[in-house]
A and B are shown apart, each in its own frame.
Chain A
Amino acid sequence: MNTTLCISSIRPGSPFVALIEKISGQNLLACYQCGKCSAGCPMAPHMDVLPNQIIRLAQLGMKEKLLTTRSIWVCVSCMTCNSRCPKDIRIAEVFEALREMVLRDGSRDDRLDVRELSPEARGALPPIAMISAMRKLTS
């Protein structure tokens, strides 16, 4: 039986891909999918799409899939992937670009509502925790 595989989602140079590259400052096609970023990522157990897969989806311009992953909110910008990538790609910057795309779209789709925290939690958490969480998860 012959199987015909039709790959149609490759849209290199699409405006979405160009925007990721612009905001992140990274050349996505430099990635050769070695997987080193995912191997060392401390948040990988909590991610639905691994860092190397995020880069692959970004190369392919798969916007809906990328912007709805849990992974983009799980990445903590620890820079482990950046410091180990043999191609000097700053993967954390790509994650930030994707978060920014969601947070900047005007619908205020925040991933943290400080009002939902108990007063005890708010009292105990140091400023460094609250401000960094708000910087990463709210617009």
Chain B
Amino acid sequence: MKLIYYPGCTLKNQARNFDVSTVSSMAELDVEVEELARWNCCGTVHALASDDVMHRMAPVTNLIRVKEANASEFMTSCAMCYNTLKRANIDVKKRADALETINQFLYLEETKYAGDVDVLHLLEYLRDRVGFDKLAEKVKKPLTGLRVACYYGCLLVRPKEVAFDDAENPVVMENLISALGGTPVPFPQKTECCGAHHTVGNPEIVAERTDKIMGSAHEQAADLVVVSCPLCAFNLDFRQDDARRLNPDFHHLPVLYFTQLMALAFGCDDASLRFDLHHIDPLPALAARGLA
């Protein structure tokens, strides 16, 4: 059985390291991943206004594509796509009138959406379908000694209807890191917001968040931070120079996708890791633990 995979826009642009490491590590787990045909942007944020039906069209079109691929579920590794697609799905399942309006608007589509597709996040898939015990058996290069701060941000655990782990103290990523042989560190800021879209118009807000969040990881003597959201990754990685200007004591730390650590532990090649796409180079931190 193939697992349908929705990459989303940023994984095909700045976050190609997230895309290639997702696909490579799934291959190592013997999961056949097939990229969804004709996928479109999910819209990045859920339309919180109850009367905003228009912005539920983009997610629903993707759900239609999943049905057209003869699947009843699909996986995405991007936390933001996951949240947007899952919320829209829950919403139209609950509101027959909104779904009717959307199907009418999308009258050129041959397939109608009937609320019959499930949205999965890769971490949820790894925990519940693959199992961390089975995953641990595939590790060729254990992340021994690597101290990892797992950052969840907002979108994997809020709101409660989309959360697949505890909202205040999620542990799924820590359990993954342990399965890979690494050492997850306590991380008080793991569900604090990175400042999200303010990176465009008010980067100083993001610099303040980055200082606080990355500072907390540094206090725990983390070697690096792992994330599941390309917006968090951009903010926490590329805004570190701004954080340094704000706080001269700021300490630079690399930010990686959890899939890159999986690919590394599974012995995937450099083309599956793409460490060249980072602002803060992860190689020195990995080399210090004998992992690069």
Contact = CB atoms under 8 A, between A and B. Distances in A.
B159 A126 contact: no
A65 B78 CA distance: 38
A45 B273 CA distance: 37
Given A42-B193, A76-B196, A83 B158 contact: yes
Given A24-B50, A79-B154, A125 B201 contact: no
A31 to B, nearest CB: 17
Interface residues of B, number: 41
Interface stretch (B38-46, B122-130, B175-183): B38-46
Contact of A46 (B10, B43, B191, B205): B205
A121 B160 CA distance: 34
Contact of A76 (B15, B55, B191, B195): B195
A63 interface: no
Interface in B206-255: 208-209, 230-231, 234, 238
Interface residues of A, number: 39
Contact of A96 (B44, B48, B195, B209): B48
Contacts of A46: 205
B50 to A, nearest CB: 4
A62 interface: no
A7 interface: no
A45 B198 CA distance: 14
A80 B193 contact: yes
B234 A126 contact: yes
Interface of A: 22-25, 42-43, 45-46, 74, 76-80, 82-83, 90, 92-93, 96-97, 100, 111-112, 117, 121, 124-133, 135-137
27 contacts: A22-B51, A23-B49, A24-B48, A24-B49, A77-B45, A83-B157, A83-B159, A93-B49, A93-B50, A96-B48, A96-B49, A97-B48, A117-B200, A125-B199, A126-B10, A126-B15, A127-B10, A127-B13, A128-B8, A128-B78, A129-B197, A129-B200, A131-B41, A132-B197, A133-B197, A133-B198, A135-B43
